[in-house]
Amino acid sequence: MTQIAALDVLLVEDDPGDVLMVQEVFEDHGMEGHLDVVNDGAEALAFLRREGPYADARRPDVVLLDLNLPKLGGREVLEAVKADAELGSIPVVVLTTSAAEEDILRAYAAHANAYVTKPVDWDDFTGAIRRIGHFFGDVARLPRR
């Protein structure tokens, strides 16, 4: 199994099963780096802005963002991140169950860096997460922190 370059990822996901699957990919399938998890949009912005309990949070290399979140939806998080001069350069990958064309168009209009519909099959899901990690860890050049 090919090792993927170390990548610090913030996963913004409220479904415990999806969180567990991403954690397993990191632990068992060649993903190096650190995975932080927050469960709603308000927490995501607090984490990224290093507010409150997240004052010492690491700046992620990539954000994996679900669209359907409690407190503050993924679309609003995406728009806030991309409008923020400090955060706007962080790549945001929308990782969601929706394959609706309207959701895809709205995400890209809000400057998402990629849109990935969550595969239902475990092997396909694992492959998708690994390919995202490979692209952002080994292929793309990310801004220096």
pTM as predicted: 0.91
Q: Which domain holds residue 125?
A: 4-137
Tell whether 43 is covered by a domain.
Answer: yes
pLDDT, tens digit (0-9, with 9 covering 90-100), for 118-142: 998 988 998 898 888 888 888 878 7
pLDDT, tens digit (0-9, with 9 covering 90-100), for 15-57: 999 999 888 888 886 667 789 999 999 999 999 999 999 999 9
Tell whether 106 is covered by a domain.
Answer: yes
User: With bands split at pLDDT 50, 70 and 90, how would you rate the model's confidence at 144?
Assistant: low
pLDDT, tens digit (0-9, with 9 covering 90-100), for 82-97: 999 999 999 999 999 9
Q: What is the CATH number of the domain that holds 125?
A: 3.40.50.2300
Tell whether 114 is covered by a domain.
Answer: yes
Distance between CA atoms of residues 8 and 17, nearest Å: 21
Q: Which value, to the nearest 10 degrees, does the dihedral of the CA atoms of residues 138, 80, 42, 68 take? A: -70
Tell whether 145 is covered by a domain.
Answer: no
Tell whether 105 is covered by a domain.
Answer: yes
- Within 8 A by CB and 6+ apart from 13, the residues are 19, 22, 37, 39, 64, 66, 69, 95
Distance between CA atoms of residues 80 and 82, nearest Å: 6
